[in-house]
Structure 1
Amino acid sequence: MPPVETMEVDSPVTEVEVEITKKDVKDVDTTTTEDIREQLRQVEKSVITKEPRFVFRVLRSLPNTRRRLNPAVLRRIILHSYSYSIKERDNLLNLVGGDDSLDVVSPIQRTRAPKQGASSPLPERIQEGILCSDQLMQKITTQNRRTLDLLAARCYFYHSRTYELAGKLDSIRSFLHSRLRTCTLRKDFEGQAVLINCLLRNYLFYSLYDQADKLVSKSVFPESGSNNEWSRYLYYLGRIKAIQLEYSQAHTHLLQAIRKAPQHTAVGFKQTVQKLLVTVELLMGDIPERHIFRQSTMRHALAPYFQMTQAVRLGDIHRFNQVLENYGKTFQADHTYTLIIRLRHNVIKTAIRAISLSYSRISLADIAHKLLLDSAEDAEFIVAKAIRDGVIEAWLDHEGKFMQSKESIDVYSTKEPQLAFHQRITFCLQIHNQSVKAMRFPPKAYNKDLESAEERREREQQDLEYAKEMAEEDDDGFP
């Protein structure tokens, strides 16, 4: 008799477990609602005291709050906050939709699904989001309060993000320009920084690099912008400079973008910047360090770029073509495909440099065979250009159809050590200047050591009494 196979059967869910599940969901929603109400009180406190640091505190906690949102929490906040405008309250309630019963995990989902958080992510309802974002912009544009600047800047970002997800990013370009002019006139530095980044992203989304470069040249990014906005701005600047063949400036901007990015969060942003930075370093003729590709957060994302780096380092044209064929779609999704195509010349230069170091004399036909070129004439043109650019030290014999390498020159007798030393000193000075600019002090800290008017009167009174006592002692000293 064959053995009977055992089957896993879901255990029946009792009413007590269902009640416990509902209670856990309600407790999480209640905690989230109380946190949001406390944030609203912080915003109100910021308006009363005119101190923006309370709003900064609320904005820093916004990513954590966003993960815990669900329709039930949104309805509670709307009912609690919109007591003065019934029309707006009903409109927002219609946009949120759903009821309390839909937010509780069903017993079947609880037994068959893996353990998850009580609050699931909200679905992406793009059209409702556009409608809500338009209403929010109508309300913000009618206000002119400096205490609203930080919140309005964050609203501009989400407004642009909503239209980007809908594929209608070009339709709000004129609106963003008008708000940028308004923020510039009102000295709204945070809004100005966010709007410049939104416009740059708008242009780069449609590959309008010339318009983006004109925007950078015609506008001034505020020095008091937050580090996050500075990181975005420097990344967009690096993309523009890389397309314009200004690789040194692009490398500098991308390095600064990584340094200003958050250390423990924003992993996706740092991966995007690092992909572009690796490509730019390869275009500059440098090879990125291996530890960059070994980081746990970068290993999988930079795997195609690691193989590309190996192909460039070895000067292997065949391997370069193979990597480009295998990961072409990945490079296009990362917006680095155009730059990767340019790396073919770097691969050829590296191969020519390796050939010149390995052979004192080699025929052009052999060079064409090693570089996978069509003819010896193509190899002659490429070698001549490499000699003219200073890539190799050699000379060509047109009649003999060969390349003759020159004797190697001592590097320390050239200007290369001086240039490398100058580059390192410049880098250190830039870090020092940026550190000084990034220093922050607590508000009104300069008044800490200054005495008040009352303390000054007490001190002067004590000085007068002490002077009188000294005069009396002097009088007592004479008969």
Structure 2
Amino acid sequence: MSTAVVSPGESAQSAVTYLSKSGTSFDSRFTLKILRNLPTIRKQVDATNLATLIAEHYDETYAKTILDLANLNYSGEFGQSVPISPEVDAFLHLLVQVWAINEDGVDTEKLMRLGQLSVKHLADSYNRRSLDHFNSKIWFYYVRAAELSKNLFSRELYSEMMTAYRTACLRHDFETQSMLITLLLRVLIFTNQIGTASDLVAKTTFPEGNASNSLAARYHYYLSRINAVELDYGTAYEQITAAIRKSPHTPAATGFLQTANKLSVLIELLTGDIPARRAFGSREQPELIAPLQPYFALAKAVRAGDVNQFQNALKTHEAALKKDGNLALARRLRQNVIKTGIRVISLTYSKIPLKDICLKLCLDSEESAEYMVAKAIRDGVIDATINHQKGYMQSLDSSNVYASTDPQECFDERIKFCMSLHDDNVKSLRYLSSDLKDDLRDLQEAREREKELVSEMQDTSDLDDDDMDFDF
């Protein structure tokens, strides 16, 4: 099947013609081709061409509504609207949204109403699987417009998204389902409704096998953030690792990778581990070096077990951490810094007064030092005892780590990671085409005939050898 070439001079019109011809095939490849070319089409289209397309394909009343919401001026006459296919209809609404949201001085209120008009128009007019990818993109820009206009707290928007999600589930529109779940989680996390977000995850099913990698990466990122806030750091680290692995490693995904790696470093520190040096950027990933400098300073403070160094790093980079939405998680690291400091002290001194521990760790009182030491002993951070009467800590002889369950737990985590990676690879395998199956079947039959021929020749050879023993 020949594919239409989108020319630089009339890219939008060529895309409309291409979608009009492919509307009867019900093949998502045409839609995906146009969506891949959407950034190029957006850059090449201008206000005049876009307004002309709207005026040609819609009646005067509806066309004027779209032009007003998109701040497009049209001085021509509105004639009879040409017949429009559902795919072209969805594409034009999406193109207007993308064009308007990238214009300088955009009216966010009008942009939000444009998105609301688009999703309502397509939902009321069509029920076609071929519009799945268009609907998901239109919903993305609708919610983005609501975020720009500070209307994410709107109960009406949340209700609309839930209604659209139920409809997408009934129609088996997997891409729209994936997009709406990630958008709902983003809205709930952005508005600090972590409990509601956790309930949403428990009561919905993300179509992992049918969703694109970019949406799957976002979904795992939001799951990681929810679990981190709920203190389930082990699950959160697994989710953020999956998000980084599934994310497209392209220039367009640089921002997401930076955000995901920031959260990954924090969660790894909260689990009690120190991230490797390459996690903060390397020669292969230079785009991570500058954004992760605040997290590198925190990691150095945690590794040193120096409370003063940690407080200075937290104060210096407070603005950056707050902008990333990670300030609350970063403040939790103070307990890890104290635990590390206690572990260093227990390895350095066989016996030390609690008052000295209080001074070294900059704690408020000896009671606080006693509490932190007791908690470190209970958590297995150190092997020591506390003499409450005389007020000192007595370190015990270091035990053999191989006599504990630590190696087994570490080995179990690696096995789970390898099995998860294997399962993802198996899911990504494609089924063989019918032509290739026929070729393999013919090849298998040829091999069987060859085996039968070899067996017959061997039987004949054995018979000839036996005949040589007879006398004639």
Give the alignment's TM-score, normalised by structure 2. Answer: 0.80
**1:221 corresponds to which letter in structure 2?**
F
Is 1:169 matched with 2:152? yes
Which residue is equivalent to 1:473?
A: none
Separation in 1, partners of 2:18, 2:244:
31
2:55 matches 1:74: no
Map 1:139-288 to 2 at 5 A.
Answer: 139-142=121-124, 143-171=126-154, 172-223=157-208, 224-264=210-250, 265-288=252-275
Give unpaired runs (5+ residues) of structure 1: 1-29, 101-119, 452-479
Q: Residues 268, 326 of structure 1: CA spacing in aligned structure 2 closer, same or farther, 3 A cutoff? A: same
Which is worse superposed, 136-145 or 44-53? 44-53
- 1:368/1:376 contact within 8 Å kept: yes
- For 1:338 and 1:323, the matched residues in 2 are separated by 14
1:188 Cα deviation after fit: 1.2
Per-residue CA distance 1:68-109 (angstroms, 9 max, x = gap): 454244235435xx3352333333344343589xxxxxxxxx
Which ranges of structure 2 fall in alignment gaps of 5 or more residues? 1-5, 76-100, 440-472
Contact preservation (8 Å) 1:183, 1:192: yes
Within 1, Cα distance between the matches of 2:431 and 2:287? 33
What residue number does 2:326 align with?
A: 336
CA contact (8 A) 1:46 1:53 kept: no
2:51–2:73 Cα contact (<8 Å) kept: no
Alignment of 1:92 onto 2:86: no
Query: Could you tell me how far apart the structure 2 residues matched to 1:184 and 1:226 are?
Result: 17
Match of 1:129 in 2: 111
Calculate the aligned-residue CA RMSD, in Å. 2.2
1:68 and 1:178 map into 2 onto residues whose CA distance is: 35
Is 1:446 aligned with 2:434? yes
- One of 307, 314, 322 as aligned partner of 2:297: 307
In the alignment, which residue of structure 2 is the partner of 1:54?
Answer: 30
Shift of 1:400: 2.0
Compared CA separation, residues 351 and 303, structure 1 to 2 (3 A): same
CA contact (8 A) 1:69 1:122 kept: no
Equivalenced residue count is: 399
Quote the offset at 1:438 in angstroms.
2.0
- Distance across 2 between alignment mates of 1:247 and 1:32: 50
Q: Which residue of 2 aligns with 1:457?
A: none
CA contact (8 A) 2:115 2:139 kept: no
TM-score scaled by length of structure 1: 0.79
C-alpha separation between the residues in 1 aligned to 2:196 and 2:102?
37
Partner AA of 1:278 in structure 2: V
Tell me how far apart the structure 1 counterparts of residues 8 and 60 of structure 2 sit (CA, whole Å): 24
Deviation at 1:153, TM superposition (A): 1.4
Pair 1:439–1:170, CA change in 2 (3 A): farther
In structure 2, the partner of 1:368 is 358
Aligned with 1:396: secondary structure? strand
Aligned to 2:94: none
- C-alpha separation between the residues in 1 aligned to 2:294 and 2:305? 16
Alpha carbons 2:265, 2:279 under 8 Å: kept: no
Pair 35,439 (structure 1): closer, same or farther in 2 beyond 3 Å:
farther
Give a deviation string over 1:22-45, Cα, whole Å, max 9, x none: xxxxxxxx9545233333344334
Distance in 2, Cα, partners of 1:311 & 1:384: 22
2:280 maps to 293
Counterpart AA for 1:277? S
Q: Counterpart of 2:223 in structure 1: which amino acid?
A: L
Q: Equivalents in 2 of 1:370, 1:32: separation in Å?
A: 68
Cα distance between partner residues in 1 of 2:161 and 2:243: 23
Q: Work out whether residues 361 and 405 of structure 1, in 8 Å CA contact, stay in contact via their aligned partners in 2.
A: yes
Quote how far apart the aligned CAs of 1:300 are.
1.3
Cα distance change on mapping 1:40 and 1:266 into 2, 3 Å: same
Q: Which amino acid aligns with 1:40?
A: V
Separation (CA, whole Å) in 2 of partners of 1:69 and 1:315: 57
* SS state at 2:286 partner: coil
CA distance change for structure 1 residues 392 and 416 in 2, over 3 Å: closer, same or farther? same
Q: Distance in 2 between matches of 1:69 and 1:370?
A: 65
Q: Which residue identity lines up with residue 272 of structure 1 in the other structure?
A: T
- SS across alignment from 1:309: helix
Q: Does 1:393 align with 2:369?
A: no
